[in-house]
Amino acid sequence: MAEREIYPLTFDPVFKDYPWGGRNLGNKLGRLIPDGIVAESWEIAAHPNGSSTVNNGPLAGLTLAQVQAQMGLALLGENNQDALARGKFPLLIKLLDANRWLSVQVHPGDEYALAHENEWGKTEMWVVLHAEAGAEIIFGFKPGVTCEHFAQAIADHSVERWLQKLPVAAGDVVFVPSGMVHALGPGIIVAEVQQNSDVTYRIYDWGRPRPIHVQQALDVLDFTQIMPTVLAPTYLVKDAMLSVEQIGVCPYFETERIALPAGGSFFGFCDGSTFEIWAVLNGAATVDWAGGALTLTGVSWALLPAALGEYQVTAAEQSVLLRVVTPEG
């Protein structure tokens, strides 16, 4: 791999026009989006249902899947040997614009998904970027639920009686493990970090004429998820020049939310163990490495290859960023 081909990658996203979407990725976030309904923007994606394309540097024009095939461990890092063997990028990064309720749904874990779908399972995390007053999500069950009670509720179209609705606001973090019943509600925009999977089992879809997946859902729902709440961040660093919150730790990804004042910097090192995904959620920041510099503004993303080496992220103005890595398996 030529040294000039190891640099932070940015991508043209893939857009999805699911019926619950709208125009707020453009209207609220200032993103350039196509005409019509835009429900999801797959920002960093290498999946059969959508693969983002590099738009900067020597690798421009290649899909992420093609970059992985070309770079191998230099891109993914030692922590992702299984993903490399499968020829599949580990994570999928999205923006979601919910203008109507998403389906009430659940995602399977790895064992069930690999056995039934030839896909990984799907654990995900939302960072709420925008929420209208009174916005809610469906997240977990109310007390007293059982599999039998819920199966009957599905049959008689009364599932809402068992579902917890949870208010959310901008800045909230929601961790959604496989097995968790959930749905985004209207007026919410989130950044989503998830396993690279597109397996969703719909339980209830508000009368929309789309398939539902009752038996699969009942197979994988976790009925111990009673009245869960939003994630409480843990501060790793907190001072005037750098704030680092740990906001999501699981076997598939670890995420930090970083706040920098104008002129503040974060120093990092891609040592070959994992790639890093950086987002500027608001503000503007520059990523400097041995081969050059890349400026990002909110909301935008970059993929730092595992072999990049030392880098520095410096804020041009007060900024909030995400840093996502994959843990050692």
pLDDT digits (tens, 9 = 90+) for 126-140: 999 999 999 999 999
Residues 4-32 as b/e (b if ≥16 CB within 10 A, e otherwise) read ebbbbbbbebbbbebebbbebbeeebebe
The answer to whether the CB of 122 falls within 8 A of the CB of 251 is: no
Return the SS3 of 22: strand
Q: Between these two residues, 4 and 304, which has the higher pLDDT value?
A: 304
| pLDDT above 80: residue 4 | no
Candidates 282, 317, 302, 322; CA nearest to 28 is: 282
What one-character-per-residue DSSP string does 80-141 give? GHHHHHHT--SEEEEEEEESSPPPEEE---HHHHHHHTSS----EEEEEEEE-TT-EEEEEE
Cite the DSSP H helix spans in the chain.
24-27, 64-71, 73-76, 81-86, 110-116, 147-155, 214-220
Of these residues, 31, 202, 257, 323, which one is catalytic? 202
User: Which residue in 122, 124, 125 sits closest to 114, CA to CA?
Assistant: 122
Distance of alpha carbon 305 from alpha carbon 6, whole angstroms: 7
CA distance 74 to 229: 38
Residue 299: cis peptide before it, omega within 30 degrees of 0: yes
Confidence band, pLDDT 50/70/90 cuts, at residue 54: very high
Residue 37 has pLDDT above 70, yes or no: yes
Q: Is 23 annotated as catalytic? A: no
Query: What is residue 329's predicted lDDT score, i.e. its pLDDT?
Result: 78
Domains (range + CATH), the chain: 3-220 (2.60.120.10), 234-325 (2.60.120.10)
Residue count (the chain): 329
Which pLDDT tens digit goes with each residue over 141-186? 999 999 999 999 999 999 999 999 999 999 999 999 999 999 999 9
pTM (predicted TM-score): 0.98
- Look at residue 85 in the predicted model and tell me its pLDDT: 96
pLDDT tens, residue by residue, 238-270: 999 999 999 999 999 999 999 999 999 999 999
Instruction: Report the run of H or E that residue 292 belongs to, with start and end.
Output: strand 292-297
Token code pair at residue 45: 């994606």
Q: How many CB atoms lie within 10 A of CB 46?
A: 24
3-class SS of residue 180: coil
Place of tokens 């909301």: 299
pLDDT surpasses 70 at 1: no
Q: What is the mean pLDDT of residues 20-33?
A: 97
